[in-house]
Amino acid sequence: MIFILRKYFFQHASLIVLMFGALSFFASNIIMKEILSAETYGYLSVFVTYFSFIYVFGIFGTEQVFIRFSRVENKNEILTQKSILYLILFFALFSSVTGTILFRHLYPEIQLNFFVLILVSLSIIGSTFLVSTFRLNSNFVLSQLLSNVWKIAMFLLAIFFLIYKYSDLSLFLLLVSLITISCFFFFLFYILKKIKFEFNSIISNNRILESSFHFFVSISSFSLIVFADRFIVEHKYSFEQFGNFFYLTSFFLSPFSILQNYIGFKQLIFFKNNFTISYFLKFRKKVILLGFLMAFALCCVTFFLSYFKWLSFPFDQYLSVIAMFLISGITRLYSSSISSAFEAKTSIETLRKSNLIIVLITIVILLFTFIFVNSIEIIILNMTLIWLLRSIICKKLLLNQIKNDE
């Protein structure tokens, strides 16, 4: 029995770390909502959104180029191209400096030392590449640990602040940043010591640059879809209202996003080496079922929390928003089953077509939403529509490509 449990633990250790990171993020937001004022929690929401955005967008999609054009020769030995690493380094430094300057300019109310902010920005952005390196090397547990370390740090610090009745947001952000920076450099030195990079020139620089451009366009549209609702709500409403929106996002959408990231994280490597249409279609149905089960579980949790008054947040005043978030969550989860296969098997030509169509649709819907829509429910619904259209387009183009290649 112990052997079976141990085997199960090691087989699913990366999922366990991911779930712990998700629960940490979930719990830290609940705790800090109880500790901070409504406006101060809005500032925290903005800071966390900044972290999340630069993690996804910071190196402009070049991590996908790295995964696509690199391979593991032996355990702890990765064959890649120097030009890819140079691109990643350039974008990491550029995004860190640019992100820090823009953040300080847009949100002067959020106090954090400039040097600390630029270092933590570099750490979050650089983690994207380190996570991709661990994934390629099949170090899935380390990959998940690194990508979730700042969420776990937030949870532990939130408990500390709750016990000792601290409510200093600047101190909280400083401590989270310092822990994140320390962990990034620890994992960086670990990779430099344990994993050997070998280089070749099989892939031309022109092809690498072309692929980088198309993945940049793809990750740009993806980032817009993921974060546009937050930016629009933050622009149209007060920090307090944005804080409530972010709280509901953390409560009802983050569980789906975590599973979405995990599915992409695991299935991208699987589909890269073991893609079949029959498995792809079956997997897609399983993911949809998982989405409905997740929505039902979240409804049950919300009911019990409200019934026993364990949280002070008035969930009953946001039922329509909650319903929209659950629909959006199921759609995002479905999208992950498509995008993981698409990213693994798409050709540059197919990627070019998808980018053109998706970017046009995304821009049109976002402009309409930004200019004309003032209802939070409709904002969420429009974002969900983009996710659904993106999934349909990618699925159609991928299946057509595979059919034509046969």
Please spell the DSSP secondary structure of 217-274, one letter per residue. Answer: HHHHHHHHHHHHHHHHHHHHS-HHHHHHHHHHIIIIIHHHHHHHHHHHHHHHHHHHHH
Give me the pLDDT at residue 2, please.
Answer: 62
Per-residue CA distances from 282 to 62, 276, 279, 322, 391 (Å): 30, 10, 5, 29, 16
Rounded CA-CA distance 398/387 in Å is: 16
DSSP 3-state of 161: helix
Give me the pLDDT at residue 297, please.
Answer: 94
Give me the pLDDT at residue 47, please.
Answer: 96
DSSP 3-state of 137: coil
Structure tokens at 16: 């366990």
Structure tokens at 200: 């070749």
| DSSP one-letter string for 283-341 | HHHHHHHHHHHHHHHHHHHHHHHHHTT-S-S-GGGGHHHHHHHHHHHHHHHHHHHHHHH
Give me the pLDDT at residue 406, please.
Answer: 65
Model confidence pLDDT, tens digit, residues 130-140: 999 998 998 98
Q: Summarize the confidence of residues 10-22 as an average pLDDT.
A: 79
Confidence of residue 9 (pLDDT cuts 50, 70, 90): low
Length of the chain: 406
Confidence of residue 5 (pLDDT cuts 50, 70, 90): low
- Amino acid identity of residue 145, one-letter, is L
Q: Summarize the confidence of residues 204-216 as an average pLDDT.
A: 86
> Shortest CA distance to 338 belongs to which of 269, 390, 404, 273?
390
Give me the pLDDT at residue 269, please.
Answer: 66
Rounded CA-CA distance 14/137 in Å is: 14
Confidence of residue 112 (pLDDT cuts 50, 70, 90): very high
Give me the pLDDT at residue 88, please.
Answer: 96
pLDDT, averaged across the chain: 89
**Share above pLDDT 70 across residues of the chain, in percent, rounded to a whole number:** 96
| DSSP one-letter string for 374-397 | --HHHHHHHHHHHHHHHHHHHHHH
Give me the pLDDT at residue 192, please.
Answer: 95
Q: Summarize the confidence of residues 206-211 as an average pLDDT.
A: 88
* Residues 106-127: b if buried by 16+ CB within 10 A, e if exposed: ebeebebeeeebbbbbbbbbbb
Beta strands (DSSP E) in 123-236 are 196-199
Structure tokens at 43: 């500032």
Burial class (CB in 10 A: 0-12, 13-18, 19+), 286: exposed
| DSSP one-letter string for 40-84 | HHHHHHHHHHHHHHHHHHTTTTHHHHHHHH-EEEETTEEEE-HHH
- Amino acid identity of residue 67, one-letter, is I
Give me the pLDDT at residue 185, please.
Answer: 97
Model confidence pLDDT, tens digit, residues 33-83: 989 999 999 999 999 999 999 998 999 989 989 988 998 988 899 999 999
Model confidence pLDDT, tens digit, residues 260-297: 877 776 777 677 777 778 888 888 889 999 999 999 99
Rounded CA-CA distance 113/3 in Å is: 49
Where are the chain's structural domains?
1-203, 204-406
Give me the pLDDT at residue 393, please.
Answer: 93
Q: Summarize the confidence of residues 115-132 as an average pLDDT.
A: 97
To which residue do tokens 């106090």 refer? 111
Q: Summarize the confidence of residues 193-221 as an average pLDDT.
A: 87
Give me the pLDDT at residue 51, please.
Answer: 94
Biggest CA–CA distance in the chain, Å, is: 64
Give me the pLDDT at residue 278, please.
Answer: 80
Nearest 5°: the CA angle 107, 108, 110 is 75
Give me the pLDDT at residue 11, please.
Answer: 63
Give me the pLDDT at residue 7, please.
Answer: 58
Per-residue CA distances from 86 to 55, 59, 208, 307, 345 (Å): 18, 11, 11, 55, 25
Sign of the four-CA dihedral 250, 315, 370, 259? positive
Cβ atoms of 146 and 130 within 8 Å: the answer is yes
Model confidence pLDDT, tens digit, residues 171-190: 999 999 999 999 999 999 99
Burial class (CB in 10 A: 0-12, 13-18, 19+), 349: exposed
Q: Summarize the confidence of residues 341-355 as an average pLDDT.
A: 82
Q: Is the pLDDT of residue 322 over 70?
A: yes
Of 85-99, 114-128, 355-369, the one with minimum mean pLDDT is 355-369
Q: Is the pLDDT of residue 327 over 80?
A: yes
Give me the pLDDT at residue 1, please.
Answer: 58
